[in-house]
Amino acid sequence: MIPKDCKRLAEVDFPIAEVSRHAAREKSIRHGHPSTLHLWWARRPLASSRAVLLALLWPDPCDPLCPASFKEKARELLPKIAGCDPGTSDADLRRALLRFIADFSNWDQAAAPHYLEVARALVKAAYPEETPLVVDPFAGGGSIPLEALRVGCEAFASDLNPVACLILKVLLEDIPRYGPTLADDVRRVGAEIKRQAEQELADLYPRDPDGATPIAYLWARTVQCEAPNCGAEIPLMRSFWLCKKARRKRALRLHIEPSGDGPPQIGFEIFTPKNDREVAAGTVKGARATCPACGAVLPPERVRAQLAAMRGGADVLFDDQGRRTGGARLLAVVTLRPGQQGRHYRLPNETDYLAVWRAQQRLAAILDEWERGGRQGLCPVPDEPLNPIRPSPNARGLSAVTRYAVSDFGELFTFRQKVALASFVRLHISAPTDHRNRTKLTGNIGGN
Ligand SMILES: C[S@@+](CC[C@H](N)C(=O)[O-])C[C@H]1O[C@@H](n2cnc3c(N)ncnc32)[C@H](O)[C@@H]1O
Ligand SMILES: [Zn+2]
């Protein structure tokens, strides 16, 4: 046991410049790095996590309280590593340990067996009675507990964010437990889920008669102009551009078509603009909507009120024959054509809306079944409330939708997206996994 008053290496010295260099280089490593498993924005480099852990775990050999058994083991093992000559004095040994820490922080040595063996043996020599437990309650992407496990500690990791917890579970429990076969199984099960989902959802994403596959549907929420004698439907569009790529410029052009006694109708065409000036400014700015037919401006509170009446307005309103009567409007459909490069843009047609109507019926049936089953378990589609108050100054994104009176997460999705989500969840839960009931690993990972 290291006496309480014995200094750790990190308290006397640390190879900051070299570890920083290796940490900076690690950012450009794409192959085989845990960061490729899932994006985590606050992930710390493994290089510095590994180096700091060792420098905090190992005692300083120059401290008179440093256990002799640790120094003996270090003198025995360090010569196995090029450049880590333990010399004869305690100061030489300290230099060699710091050299080891600096070199081991290099990504190229991170999995080298001789480095790992020496690191683990010296952690063991410093803590012969009990394996040290590294606790990281804010573990995020898991750099610290991962390196702790790798150098022979036990680790406890948790995080407030459920995405981080999932990353931690996969990184710290599943991968060490199942090894490379896990990746094969995920690919196999993923391919099967994809196949079944494509089959189940095919009629909601119909191909075009010419064989083109729609890959994106561009929608706009709509509100109604409240100016006297107008009543036109205003699609809320920040921009009329569809594609700004140099050789594939596409934009929408709006037409106002009078319709007898009724409100003016808004139609679109897709065209190839030569420059920015040919593309009209959007209809919405700062939640204020401008009517393209009469130029009246609908103030933010009226835009919000109209959208709130349509539960955020992400969905189409249909009559009972499946004809659109209002709500979200399809602006354009992006397609890929067999044998042709690039994306194509076309105006929407009745078949596009019919698919959405079918999705609406299907979603109603899914929710009905859940209701009849006594609302057991989670709702099949997201229904958690959205907090309209910005939880922290760093939280981005949600203020824009709460401005439009979106009040729960489900309202961020269209009928069709919700049906697809429900399919993915159901297929995922029922997917056969060989791994579910295997034994636990030694690392002790908690989480919420
Ligand atoms: C700087 S990041 C940690 C990065 C981590 N070391 C890594 O390498 O990925 C801070 C983490 O703290 C988490 N967090 C913030 N407040 C928390 C709280 N009250 N309880 C638990 N975790 C929290 C965040 O979700 C975030 O993942
Ligand atoms: Zn108007």
Query: How far, in Å, from the CA of 160 to the mean position of ligand 1?
Result: 7
Compute the C-alpha angle 216/221/223, nearest 5°: 160
How is 263-275 classified by DSSP, letter by letter? EEEEEEEEE--SS
Does the pLDDT value for residue 396 go beyond 80?
A: no
pLDDT at residue number 448: 30
Cβ–Cβ under 8 Å, residues 37 and 171: yes
**3-class SS of residue 309:** helix
pLDDT at residue number 44: 95
Name the DSSP class of 185: H
Task: Write the residue with the smallest CA distance to atom 5 of ligand 1.
Answer: 140
Cβ–Cβ under 8 Å, residues 158 and 139: yes
pLDDT at residue number 259: 80
Does the pLDDT value for residue 197 go beyond 70?
A: yes
Q: Whole-number mean pLDDT of the chain? A: 91
Q: What is the Cα–Cα distance from 128 to 57, expressed in whole angstroms?
A: 12
pLDDT band at 391 (very low <50, low <70, confident <90, very high): low
Q: Which ligand is nearest to the CA of 161?
A: 1
Q: What is the Cα–Cα distance from 411 to 311, expressed in whole angstroms?
A: 7
pLDDT at residue number 287: 83
Name the residue of 135, 159, 170 to mutate for ligand 1: max ligand atoms within 8 A of Cβ: 159
Query: How far, in Å, from the CA of 142 to the mean position of ligand 1?
Result: 10
Tally of residues, the chain = 448
In this structure, of 262-271, 291-300, 341-350, 392-401, the range with the lowest mean pLDDT score is 392-401
Give residue ranges with CB within 6 A of ligand 1.
40, 42-44, 137-141, 143-144, 159-161, 164
Does the pLDDT value for residue 365 go beyond 60?
A: yes
pLDDT average, residue stretch 272-287 = 92
**Residues sharing a CB contact under 8 Å with residue 418, sequence separation 6 or more, in sequence order:** 359, 363, 381, 382, 410
Most confident of 35-39, 159-163, 390-394: 159-163
Cβ–Cβ under 8 Å, residues 172 and 444: no
pLDDT average, residue stretch 224-239 = 95
Does the pLDDT value for residue 432 go beyond 90?
A: no
What angle do helix axes 16-26 and 90-104 make, rounded to 10 degrees? 10
pLDDT band at 442 (very low <50, low <70, confident <90, very high): very low
pLDDT average, residue stretch 374-392 = 83
In this structure, of 294-308, 309-323, 340-354, the range with the lowest mean pLDDT score is 309-323
pLDDT average, residue stretch 105-112 = 96
Q: φ, ψ for residue 79 (rounded to 5)?
A: -60, -15
Cβ–Cβ under 8 Å, residues 49 and 156: no
Q: Which ligand 1 atom is at minimum distance from the Cα of 40?
A: 9
**Residue listed under structure tokens 């065409």:** 269
Q: What is the Cα–Cα distance from 251 to 421, expressed in whole angstroms?
A: 30
pLDDT at residue number 321: 86
Task: Write the residue with the smallest CA distance to atom 1 of ligand 1.
Answer: 42
Cβ–Cβ under 8 Å, residues 169 and 178: no
Name the DSSP class of 431: S
